[in-house]
A and B are shown apart, each in its own frame.
Chain A
Amino acid sequence: MNDETALLSDDLVQRTLGAALHTGGEFAEVFVEDKRSTSAMFDDGKVEELSSGRDRGAGIRVVVGETTGFAHTADLSETGLVAAAQAAAATAKGGGGGTRTIDLDRQSATRPNEVQVLPETIAKATKVELLGRADQAARDAGPAISQVMARYADSRRRFLVANSDGVLAGDDQVRTMFSVSCVASGDTGMQTGRETIGRTVGFELFDEYDVEELARTAANRALTKLAAVPAPSGEMPVVIGKGGGGVLFHEACGHGLEADLVGKNASVFADRVGEQVANRSVTIVDDGTMPTEWGAYAFDDEGRAGQRNTLIENGILTDYMWDLLRARRAGRASSGNGRRQGYQYLPMVRMTNTYLGNGTDDPDDIIASTERGVFVAQLGGGQVNTATGDFVFGMTEAYLIENGEITAPLREGNLIGNGPEVLTLIDALGNDFAMGSPGTCGKDGQGVPVGDGTPTLRVAKLTVGGTAA
Chain B
Amino acid sequence: MTDELLAIADQVIGWANDDEQVEVVVVHDRDTEVRAYEGDIESLSSAESQGVGVRVIKDHRQGFASAGTLDPTVLAETLADARDNASFGTPDEFLGLAEPDGVPIPELALVDERLLGFAPEGKVAMALELERAVRAADDRIIGLETAEYGDSMSAAAVVSTAGVRAVGSETAAFLMAYSLAADGDDVQTGFGFSVAKGPDGLDIDRAAADATERATRLLGATKPGSERLTVVLDPFVTAQFLAILGGTLTGEAVQKGRSLFAERSGDLVASPLITLVDDPTDPDAFTATESDGEGLAARRNPLITAGVLNGFLHNAYTARKAGTRSTGSAVRGYSSTPGVGCQALALAPGTAAQADLIADIDNGLLVQGVSGLHSGVNPVSGDFSTGAEGLRIRNGALAEPVREFTIASTLQRMLLDVVAVGSDLEWLPMNAAGVSLVVADVTMSGA
Contacts and interface: CB of A to CB of B under 8 A. Distances in A.
A346 interface: yes
Nearest to A55: B68
Nearest to A65: B40
A52 interface: yes
Interface in A65-92: 65-74, 87, 90-91
Contacts of A416: 372, 387, 404-406, 445
A183 B257 contact: yes
A54 B67 contact: yes
Nearest to A128: B88
A185 B85 contact: no
Contacts of B65: 51-54
A56 interface: yes
A313 interface: no
Interface string A27-58: 00000000000001001101111111111110
Given A189-B382, A412-B385, A235 B68 contact: no
B84 to A, nearest CB: 7
B187 A388 contact: yes
A421 to B, nearest CB: 9
A134 B9 CA distance: 37
Given A385-B189, A416-B405, A463-B445, A48 B45 contact: no
- Classify the interface of chain B: helix, strand, loop or mixed: strand
A233 B408 CA distance: 9
A411 interface: yes
- Classify the interface of chain A: helix, strand, loop or mixed: strand
Interface string A113-144: 00000000000110010000000000000000
B139 to A, nearest CB: 16
Contact of B376 (A57, A146, A264, A392): A392
B307 to A, nearest CB: 21
Contacts of A23: none
Nearest to B228: A469
Contact of A234 (B84, B143, B226, B386): B226
Given A189-B260, A234-B445, A413 B408 contact: yes
Contacts of A49: 62-64, 85, 89, 337
Interface residues of B, number: 83
A341 interface: no
A69 B44 contact: yes
Contacts of B74: 54
A306 interface: no
A448 interface: no
Interface stretch (A6-14, A164-172, A207-215, A375-383): A375-383
A411 B63 CA distance: 37
B17 interface: no
Contacts of A146: 257
B69 A381 contact: no
B380 interface: yes
B254 to A, nearest CB: 11
A72 B46 CA distance: 7
Nearest to A388: B187
B40 A44 contact: no
A185 B372 contact: no
Given A124-B88, A392-B387, 18 more contacts: A47-B90, A49-B62, A51-B65, A67-B40, A70-B43, A128-B88, A147-B257, A264-B37, A264-B144, A382-B375, A383-B375, A390-B404, A411-B381, A463-B445, A466-B445, A467-B408, A467-B409, A469-B443
Interface of B: 37-38, 40-50, 62-71, 74, 77-78, 81-82, 84-86, 88-90, 92, 120, 142-145, 180, 187-189, 223, 226, 228, 255-258, 260, 335-337, 371-372, 374-378, 380-387, 389, 403-410, 443, 445-447
Top 5 closest pairs, chain A to chain B, by CB: A465-B406, A392-B387, A394-B375, A381-B375, A392-B372
